[in-house]
């Protein structure tokens, strides 16, 4: 796959991608998961912080390029170029996993908006969202074990709360 990426966009060499935390085989960066980690952690905290409901309701999915533009990722141009050059099969899996994750979050948002469930019942849905993040991370990382990715995503989220 390295050859495919470098053929499509010669500036995309494996060393440069790795230095930018972009998987050279998939052309995708795990930084994209931060968009979902944020809302998952907020959902998980609803039983203790029910006032965070509005934050969950305000959350909107962002496409891959939009995320990198909005967050001002230091290598945003490279991340977007690598995404554009990503193999079709990887993009297909990525978009399917992302759509599933967006659907899971939208379901939680509808439940919150309906106001028919306790915050702790809704907070329990965070596990399914973290599992979706792990699945999406598996695609980004070329198929690594989801349980390891889920723990990593959860730890990154906890770390971000204390940063």
User: pLDDT by residue (tens digit) across 36-79?
Assistant: 999 999 999 998 998 999 999 999 999 999 999 998 888 999 99
Place of tokens 């998952």: 40
How is residue 28 annotated by DSSP? -
> Residue 10: which pLDDT band, with cuts at 50, 70 and 90?
very low
Q: Among residues 63, 91, 60, 65, which one has the least CA distance to residue 76? A: 65
Q: Is pLDDT of 1 > 50?
A: no
Q: Is pLDDT of 114 > 70?
A: yes
Q: Is pLDDT of 13 > 90?
A: no
Q: How many CB atoms lie within 10 A of CB 3?
A: 8
Q: For 110-133, what is the mean pLDDT?
A: 88
Q: What is the pLDDT of residue 156?
A: 54
Average model confidence (pLDDT) for the chain?
A: 84
Instruction: Give the gyration radius of the chain's Cα atoms.
Output: 17
Q: Is residue 13 helix, strand or coil?
A: coil
Instruction: Give Cα separations from 9 to 86, 118, 158 (angstroms).
Output: 10, 50, 36
Q: What is the pLDDT of residue 72?
A: 81
Q: Among residues 26, 31, 135, 136, which one has the least CA distance to residue 83? A: 26
Distance CA 91, CA 77 (A): 18
Q: For 145-154, what is the mean pLDDT?
A: 44
């Amino acid at each position: 796959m390295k050859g495919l990426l470098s053929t499509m966009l010669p500036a995309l060499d494996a060393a440069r991608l790795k230095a930018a935390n972009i998987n050279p085989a998939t052309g995708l960066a795990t930084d994209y998961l931060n968009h979902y980690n944020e809302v998952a952690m907020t959902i998980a905290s609803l039983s203790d912080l029910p006032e965070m409901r509005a934050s969950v309701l305000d959350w909107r999915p962002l496409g891959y390029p939009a995320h990198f533009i909005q967050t001002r990722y230091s290598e945003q141009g490279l991340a977007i170029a690598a995404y554009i050059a990503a193999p079709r099969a990887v993009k297909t899996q990525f978009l399917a996993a992302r759509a599933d994750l967006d659907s899971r979050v939208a379901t939680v948002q509808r439940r919150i908006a309906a106001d028919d469930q306790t915050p702790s019942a809704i907070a329990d849905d965070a596990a399914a969202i973290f599992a979706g993040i792990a699945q999406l991370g598996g695609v980004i990382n070329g198929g690594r074990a989801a349980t390891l990715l889920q723990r990593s995503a959860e730890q990154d989220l906890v770390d971000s709360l204390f940063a």
